Amino acid sequence: EVQLVESGGGLVQAGGSLKLSCAASGFTFGDYVIGWFRQAPGKEREAVSCINSSDDRTYYADSVKGRFTISSDNAKNTVNLQMNSLKPEDTAVYYCALGPAAVVPGLLSGTWYGYWGQGTQVTVSS
C-alpha cells in the first residue's frame, strides 16, 4: 500500500521559514515524481512544486519561486519543501502527491498524481 506522510507544518510569522517533509513508502515503480500542492479555504488546489526522481529536476509555481526549495532524499524516499520568506497568502493545507515519471517536463497538475498524503496545515500570521 502506497503511503505518503507529510510533516512539518505549523504556525509562523510572516518572513519566517518552515520545512515540510513527505515520506513515501509502499510503491514499486522506479522513476516517479513527487509534487507539493496547497489549498487555502475557499480556493482551488494549487500546484506549488515538484521534483523528478530520475534527474532531480525541479519546478515551481511563480508564486513561490525564489522562496521555496524542493529537494529529495531518494535513499529515504523523502521529499522536503523548504519554505522561506513566508507570506500570509502562503497559508493553506499543504499536500504531497506521488505519480509516475512525467513525460512532459514542468509543474504537473493534480490529475497526474495517483497518491496523496493527508495534508499538513501551514499558517502564516501577519
**35 neighbors 113 (Cβ within 8 angstroms):** yes
Determine the pLDDT at residue 27: 79
CA distance 1 to 124: 33
Determine the pLDDT at residue 102: 81
Determine the pLDDT at residue 29: 66
5-62 tens-digit pLDDT: 999 999 999 999 999 999 999 877 678 899 999 999 999 999 999 999 888 899 999 9
Beginning with the edge strand found earlier in the chain, give each strand of the sheet holding 18-25 in spatial order: 3-7, 18-25, 78-83, 68-73
CA distance 97 to 20: 13
68-125 tens-digit pLDDT: 999 998 777 899 999 999 999 999 999 999 998 887 788 989 999 999 999 999 999 9
